Amino acid sequence: MGSKRSIALGIALAMGAWLLSGELVSNTLIASEAKKSPVEKTIPTVRGIESLAMQRQNVLAVRGQTRANRSVQVRAEVAGKIVSLPAVKGTQVKAGDLLCQIAVDTRQSELDEARAQLKSAQLEYDGVLDLKRRGLQSEINVAKASASLESARARAKQGELALLKTRMTAPFAGVIESQPVEIGDYLSPGQVCVTLMEIDPMLVIGQVSEKNIGQVALKDEVRVSLITGEQFTGTISFISRVPDASTRTYPIEVTVSEPADQMRAGMTADMLVPVGIELAHLISPASLVLNDEGNIGVRIVDDSDMVRFAEVKVISEEADGVWVKGLPVRIRLITVGQEEVFDGQVVSIDLTPLAALVRN
C-alpha cells in the first residue's frame, strides 16, 4: 500500500514539474518575442482646416407690410364743371402734372377786369403822389388812393388764384389710385377729384420687441424680401418711442427707394434688421456632429493634439455654409473623420487644402 502511494506521488510531482517547465518556457518565449518585435501604438490621422472667426452683422427677422410713403386726396378749391381728366386711374404722374381741369367760365374775364382796375388804381395813386410833392394834395387823399390801389391788387390776386385753381395738379410724383369723378361732373369746393399715392419711395412697417429695440438704429441698412420673392434694400427711417399698447412692441419704418412698378402697398414682407456685430465661424454643414447628449457641435483639435467636442449655435445658413458661434477665435476644425474619433483621443491633423491635393 505504501509503495502505491509513493508511485502516485512521484507521478504527480513529475507532471507538476513538466507543466511548470512549459509555462516558464512560454513566458520566456513571449518576453523574448516582445523584445524582438515591440508593438508600435498608431495615431489616427484626420483632415481639417484652420478656421478664424470673423465679425458678422447679426440680424433680427421682422415680419412687416409694405405701405405707400404718402397718399393724398386731391380736392377742388373752386366750384365748376370738369372739362378734362388727363390722368386716369392707375397711371403714373410726375409732380406738377395736370390731374383735373375745371371749366374756366368767367374767371378769365374777371381777372382781366381786375387787372385793368389795378392799372387804373396805380395811375391814380401815382397822380396823387405827384400832386402831394407839389403841395397840392392832402394826406387823406393820398391814403385813399393807396387803399384803392391795395384793394385793386388784392382783387387781381384773387382772380389769378381762382384761375390757377381750375387746374388741379399733382403735388408729388405717384400713381392715380382712384378717380371718383368723370368729365362733365360738377365739383364743389372740397370734393375729391383723384386719390394720389406715392410709391417711390415705399415704406415697410414692422414691429420690434422691447428686448431688441435698443439695438436698432436709424439709417441702418435692412434687407427686405416680399412674399412674391422680390428682394430690396432699404434704410431705417423711423423708430417709434411709444410701444403698441396690445403687443408691447415698437413700430419701425424702413424706406425702400426702388423702381415704382416693383412694389405694391399692403404686401407681406420679411425684414432682416441689423442688431449688432458678433464673432462667428463660417463652416461646412458636414462638419457638424451630435454628442451623446444630442447637442449639436463640432470636433476640434486642441494645442495638445487632442480631440475636443465643442458645442455651437447655428446663427444662419448661406450658400457657402453655416454661421456658428460659441467657438474660440482660432480653431483647428476636423472636416473629415470627425465621426471616427472620440473626445480626448490624440490624433494627427492634416491641414493641407483639398485643392492642393487635387493639383498633386
Class assignment of domain 46-55+279-359? mainly beta
Closest by CA position to 101, among listed 183, 189, 188, 159: 183
**What is the structure's pLDDT at 277?**
86
For 186-207, write each residue's pLDDT tens digit. 999 999 999 999 988 899 999 9
pTM (two decimals): 0.63
Residue 24 binned pLDDT confidence (cut-offs 50, 70, 90): very low
pLDDT band for position 36 (50/70/90)? very low
- Pairing assessment for the beta strands 221-226 and 268-283 based on DSSP bridges: antiparallel
* Confidence bin at 8 (pLDDT 50/70/90): low
What's the mean pLDDT in 251-271? 86
Q: What average pLDDT is seen over the chain? A: 86
pLDDT tens for 347-356 read 999 988 755 5
pLDDT at 261: 66
pLDDT of amino acid 147: 92
CATH class, 75-193 region: mainly beta
Which grid coordinates belong to 97? 402734372
Indicate the pLDDT class of residue 39, thresholds 50, 70 and 90. very low
Mean pLDDT of 61-79: 93
Domains of the chain, residue spans: 46-55+279-359, 60-67+197-277, 75-193
What dotted CATH number matches 60-67+197-277? 2.40.30.170
